[in-house]
Amino acid sequence: MKALQLVVPDAAEAREQLLERGLEVSELMVMTEADGGTFFGFADPDGNSWAVQEIKARAQTPLIPDRHMGLGAWAGR
């Protein structure tokens, strides 16, 4: 798949974690200083391409509440 997107509260931290795991990632790109304007990209081993967008508000208000984190929640358990 191409052009998948992840949203993280800290793009620099997410980028560093991927680098530590051996992935090749692009440099941080700041399109605008406003929240939501910082990106980087990478491709996973299956050839999917990902854009990672920083939205700092997600640190305070995650899209998936903590009580739903983990594989069991996604599997309906």
Is residue 66 a part of any domain in this protein?
yes
Which residue has 């599997």 as its token pair? 75
As for how many domains the chain has, the answer is 1
How confident is the model over 6-49, as pLDDT tens digits? 999 999 999 999 999 999 999 999 998 888 899 999 999 899 99
The structure's pTM equals 0.73
pLDDT on residue 35: 84
Structure tokens at 2: 């191409």
Can you tell me whether residue 7 is helix, strand or coil? Answer: strand
Give the range of the structural domain holding residue 67, as residue numbers without chain letter.
4-71
Q: Tell me the CATH number at 42.
A: 3.10.180.10
